[in-house]
Structure 1
């Protein structure tokens, strides 16, 4: 818990941050605290001087925006600012006489004036997203900042503003070759600034583009001494060690590997569920934890992660898929009418055949506006929610809220292409609310720091300068990035199929009895809470055992982690 004697007279203030995640400066009853250990004292002093001269407006004029907290005891005011992407979370709760804030919801709810009443809306949102999306949290009283946002608290009032929005460009000043050289140099420079020593710094290595790029940059910083850490699974289709070892050989790193087992899952899952300050359903958290633990066991206390490359340089398959629907909207109006009329007038036998069925499905999806179309396969859109949730629960929530959160974010950038809007949306939903939470918490649980070189602000800004057509050229994902890294990464990694830290949980769950008992006991316990229809929970277990083990295994994981979180928090 951070404390400051000069500010103790402000009785309405409470705050808590992890002791190793802050630097601070103090003068004239002002305290400026960084929520990032890489921030230098000189940078903080510069910001504090800017605040004295410009007041709260200085937030919007930062040359190097960061996450920080500014407390002005004389004015009885507070400013909380997240970094542009939201690499870390800042939580807060307003009380009857002040405000409480911290780097986790767990810190905030420790304050006696902050309640722990559960937000039923966030339960629904959790099932929808598999995490609790910002700005809400699992607790009704507690909120959290989004990336690029700041909060001002003064005279008992909270105001929220945005100080940073990406400016996406579709015309470059310069050429792509120069931009590619700049990207590679920025990556090496950023890794060099984030690495501490060759003994205590390492890198996650899945064998994908991003982790291989970061590992390669670390190998340039520490030639022949860079430590890399990879997870494997002894299940066909889930193991990427082969690609990780291609990077190891190419960059001559000191590789460490671990194969996660069902027994590891049984041992760690309850601990992982309760360690998160909110319910968290991303199953790859298990691999992230064991990878971080492997690093810690080998003397590494600082890890570099490759998260973010897909979301800033267009590497997810859904981006390419959604761009296909734009072709439909380019057709003249009469052509669309003729196509639809022809398809829907076909004889029934022909209409149900493969090609006409797919054509009608394509038109149906194309006519769904963005970003709603991205959620076409969401479980809660494919099934009747009355069969999933209890009527009393549904009466308390807004089932349209998750989509509205997505729409608000998607529409926020000005003059942005469809692709860039999808990227910006993923900065919130995939990075800030999900993947970064996953890696941050699991590294913290294992006792290591984590940094994200590809999300350095200079690299994010560079990505905004790359035209959409060069990020995603036709259906070629990450075209610019791959061109930039062509002489740096091995060809097999550049051209490898998309993968990740997937967990074969559904496969293991069918036959591993201790894992089955852990999961199914949690779901049986979930029946005692007034959220789900008991028959839906039974159906999920039955379907997992009978068909689609991987698909229903993910649903079982999400439900299991929700109940284990409640049990871990004793709620």
Structure 2
């Protein structure tokens, strides 16, 4: 999101000087391009504005000043907020918050907000009479909020660097170790690379008052109200979230692979978007690695819809450039650090015809139960229906995934046994395997469960077995997107992770997401029935490991320098001899070692940008 903010709630014990007041303003001001706003009260100070270097016009930013007989509110809304209950696109967008709405939001500690609104946003409200600050990031997790306790007061910001540059940086070695292991993708957003700074988990708000702060949950994917609230068709919800987020004066771009999600999104955009605004598709291809090439499928889909398709030849998937902008430092290590130059070049293609919004098809497989999410769905079916009709679902599952009947029965009986005993399988859902090149003492490291698991992790025991896997899959999908996107010049929309569609998917029993022929039902079925075209979608995903492996080979000299002489090696986290052997294994084609190496490269690039 293109808004940056930072602030402080002063400690009652601190003596507020001009130096303290100006510290955050002087630090953040150079990163703001327009709409610079400073909100000062006797107990707090906040600076906010549009982020420099990002396209400015898609997301809203407006100041909140409202009062009634009880109190006065001051703050801002950054991003785009939509009303769940309205039916027309023109009335869905929220451009003003009345004082009675603000009061309901703060009195319910965000519950009213999550039940009646959705979007990509962050809402900050200061209750001037009661000397409180309420900060509500969107519950799905697009927006970030970092906080730290200091002698001067409680600091908070949209960006990690805004806090890290104001306090002593205490590096968390445990954080880097977890990033290097396979658990890194499921890290709870509470953790950051600095032990003195935390990130607010999505689905929670923060309330600051009188030297204290309260973290309160206001949205939970395991909430039974969500899981039982399906009242619309899948395609109707899909069209609703797309229509609400279309901005008529912006062109549309998306990556087109020829698969179900990107193709369905392209068809929906063409159906819903005014024809006077350009819709273009982009396909990444590597002509030297045929397993990664999806250009033929993408071309077939684009031609059938009359959409212009641009190709970006990814001849070198990695561009290990160092960031020269201190205001564009990533909050956390992320694999997109490996291809920043490619992202810049792709954005140049998107922006050549003016203001553009990038629509991502990422998330459909997470939402609608692709792959092993359905393996334990027979247990879910038994919990709801017992043995009535269960034979049919078992036959469908075995036929669809070619799984032996004995294996299906064994896995689902074990899942039911754990579910009814209360010894739920959520701990089995996270793979805590660590790379062999980590030193032995880090293999046996005991992690703080509260720091690693999602905030709703214990609630998974109340979910049927397959539903628990789906919830974690959605959480992982959102986590994959949020770290890097806020620094991109082109705004990125994830319609599959829009709150109404996520809630629809959570309300759908996993055993209804497949039959013996297809997965991701009812989404695929409703798309086919609505558009009634003869377009054949790509049935299998392109294999990216060959392209990523070639990137290792092309950049091997710099990768060796980063990994063998970088921060982790200097901190004696890893065995460089074994690591070198594993890098050579990847070069030789052993791709099961690839992702841990990519995690290490992203950690080292992050450390280099931060000067560690």
TM score, norm. by length of structure 1: 0.78
Other-structure match for 2:574: 532
Residues 95 and 145 (structure 1), Cα distance of their counterparts in 2 relative to 1, 3 Å cut: same
3-state secondary structure, aligned to 1:161: strand
Q: 1:127 aligns with which of 161, 180, 203?
A: 180
Alpha-carbon distance in 2 for matches of 1:58, 1:329: 34
Aligned residue for 1:333?
none
Aligned to 2:40: 7
Asked if 1 retains the 8 angstrom alpha-carbon contact of 2:513 and 2:521, the reply is: yes
- The answer to which structure has the higher helix fraction is 1
2:335 paired residue number: 281
Q: Please show how residues 492-511 of structure 1 align to structure 2 within 5 Å.
A: 494=537, 496-499=539-542, 504-510=547-553
Matched, 1:458 2:500: yes
Q: Does 1:184 align with 2:217?
A: no
> Structure 1: where are the runs of 5+ without partners?
331-354
Following superposition of structure 1 onto structure 2, how do residues 15-414 of structure 1 map, counting pairs within 5 Å? 16=48, 18-19=50-51, 20=56, 21=59, 22-28=61-67, 30-37=73-80, 43=94, 45-46=96-97, 48-52=99-103, 55-57=106-108, 59-62=110-113, 63-65=116-118, 67-110=122-165, 112=166, 114-128=167-181, 129-130=183-184, 133-166=188-221, 167=224, 179-180=232-233, 183-197=234-248, 200-220=251-271, 221-223=273-275, 225-234=278-287, 235-262=289-316, 265-266=318-319, 268=321, 275-281=329-335, 290-314=345-369, 316-323=370-377, 370-376=425-431, 379-380=433-434, 388-389=438-439, 391=441, 398-399=446-447, 401=449, 405=453, 409-412=456-459
* Counterpart pick for 2:608 among 557, 561, 567: 567
| Structure 2: runs of 5 or more not aligned | 6-35, 83-90, 385-403, 419-423
Query: Residues 231, 324 of structure 1: CA spacing in aligned structure 2 closer, same or farther, 3 A cutoff?
Result: farther
Q: Does 1:522 align with 2:575?
A: no
Instruction: Please state how far the C-alpha of 1:532 moved relative to its aligned partner.
Output: 1.7
Matched, 1:422 2:451: no
Query: Which structure: greater strand fraction?
Result: 2
Deviation at 1:291, TM superposition (A): 3.8
Give the deviation of 1:400 after TM superposition.
6.3
1:482-508 residue CA offsets vs partner (Å, 9 max, x unmatched): 111113386665461145876722134
Q: What is the deviation of 1:294?
A: 2.6
Matched positions, count? 519
TM-score by length of 2: 0.73
Most deviating of 26-35 and 517-526? 26-35
The equivalent of 2:17 in structure 1 is: none
Structure 1's 257 and 173: CA in aligned 2 closer, same or farther, altered over 3 A? closer
Deviation at 1:148, TM superposition (A): 1.6
2:522 maps to 480
Structure-2 change in CA distance of 1:214 and 1:329 (3 Å): closer
Structure 1 residue 198: deviation in Å? 6.3
Aligned twin of 2:20? none
